[in-house]
Structure 1
Amino acid sequence: MDLNYYDALIAVADDCPTRSAVVPAPRGGKKTVATVQYELLADNPGILTQEDVLFETWLRRQEQPEPSEADRARLRAEFFARPQACLRASPLPKKYGWGLLFDEAGRVSLCPAGSAEYERLVTGDEPGVKILKAMRSRRT
């Protein structure tokens, strides 16, 4: 089953507390989900898919030694055997003002709210790019 998005922008949530992108900081000396996801996407723009980001975020937060390739494949299969929240629930577009732009191959890049590219995309001026809103933090 393919969990990736294609030719899509996950726009910041309507109740996002910031109007422009903010780099998430670790909390209590530990990297948060937002920090790990930001580092993955900032260091690998247009390389990782949603599935890669979800799995790598989980793996890096386990505080275990780097697994072998065989163990990594087994852990990934086990991880995706359970239902997973998509990146619409990520803290990056919910709280930190980062849009997530997916290309035709499902690879994701950060797209900061407030940037010219984000504004062009979110207004629907880019044909073929589906706009999806990040999930709200609170119910209305």
Structure 2
Amino acid sequence: MTKTHTTNYFDTFIEVAEDCPVIHGEIPKLKGNNKTVAELQFEMISKKPYKYSSDDVLFQVFAERNDISEAEKDEAKKSFFSKGQPCFRASPLTKRYGFGVHSNHEGKIAIYGMETEEYTKLSSDSGIKTVKAMRTSKK
């Protein structure tokens, strides 16, 4: 049996990276004909906050960008999570676009722009764990 990895967090808030270049949450813009990872993640999470887990979003984005059919999804998902995957600490939403990611007690996620009251509340909530997104540049 292969090990299954997960990117899910529970009761955790991922703050934007220290070197995030923006001062408020910025909606990712279309570049070329294909939607970027940031756009796909943003659309999925912002339209249905607390509906999906991190694993759900990361795999769906992978599946969309790689044209994986419904019939191939189960096998592709097993393969995808048989290796460790970067979590939302490495997402362009947290590193570049100014969004924090909150995972509730069920592991379902929502995003909050760094300028919002919710972001401030979550980043100072002692009842949940807070972690920083990964820096883009090395110190």
Offset at residue 8 of structure 1 (A): 0.6
Could you tell me which of 9, 17, 33 is aligned with 2:13? 9
| 2-structure distance, mates of 1:17, 1:99 | 14
1:36-89 deviation per Cα after TM superposition (whole angstroms, max 9, x unaligned)? 10011012210111111110110011135x423xx3211110111122111100
SS in 1 for 2:111: strand
SS in 2 for 1:81: coil
| 2-structure distance, mates of 1:78, 1:128 | 35
Instruction: Calculate the TM-score normalised by the size of structure 1.
Output: 0.91
1:59 paired to 2:59:
no
Offset at residue 3 of structure 1 (A): 3.1
* Count of residue pairs brought into register by the alignment: 135
1:70-81 aligned within 5 A: 71-81=72-82
1:128 paired to 2:132:
no
1:13-32 aligned within 5 A: 13-32=17-36
Q: Which runs of 5+ in 1 are unaligned?
A: none
Q: Any conservation in 1 of the 2:7–2:86 contact (CA below 8 Å)?
A: no
Instruction: Calculate the TM-score normalised by the size of structure 2.
Output: 0.92
Moved over 3 A (4+): none
Quick one: percent identity of the two aligned structures?
A: 34
Q: Which runs of 5+ in 2 are unaligned?
A: none
Cα RMSD of the aligned pairs, angstroms, is 1.2
| 2-structure distance, mates of 1:2, 1:137 | 22
1:87 paired to 2:91:
no
